[in-house]
Amino acid sequence: MLKSIEGNFDHPEVHELLTKHFVELRAASPEGSAHVLDIPGLQDKSIKFWSLWNNEMLMGCGALKFLDKEHGEFKSIRIHDNFRRKGNGISVISHLINEAKKLNINKLSIETGAGDFFKPARTLFKQCGFEVCGPFAHYKEDINSVYFSKTL
């Protein structure tokens, strides 16, 4: 049974997963092209964050940043290593889409890397109905970034 908890940054497993996420994404992104938020960044009032648990085991996490009242951006989507390559990314994205709908968001956007490290993320977003688009919000054209959006 999948359980969702909002904003539990202090949980040691969540903290560890996010820290690993930050380190890996910064290492895989050229300087100036890393757009990952740290924990204080994720605690901004414009962002809602959830961890997802499967039988008391941390499966993954993700956040929704409000760009305006109807447009949201997914941030810090990460699947725990124990749950990778098993279709659980779709479960996390589906949870975030359902939360966005509850919050009356009608457009979602995502920025991810263009390099090989980010290929699984790009594949996942396409599987979930996101389409490549141009930069949105504060982003600019960057050969190291790929932008996606989806209308709900």
CA distance to 7, 30, 95, 114, per residue, from 33 (Å): 26, 5, 27, 10
95: pLDDT strictly greater than 70:
yes
Evaluate if residue 91 carries a pLDDT over 80.
yes
Place of tokens 């996420």: 21
pLDDT, one tens digit per residue, over 34-80 is: 666 778 888 899 999 999 999 899 999 999 999 999 999 999 999 99
pLDDT at res. 104: 97
Instruction: Give the confidence band of 109 by pLDDT, cuts at 50, 70, 90.
Output: very high
Q: What does the pLDDT read at residue 43?
A: 85
Does the pLDDT value for residue 33 go beyond 70?
no
2-108 folds as Aminopeptidase (3.40.630)
Q: Tell how far CA 23 is from the center of its chain.
A: 15
Q: What is the spatial distance between Cα 133 and Cα 110, in angstroms, rounded to a whole number? A: 9
* Model confidence, pTM: 0.90
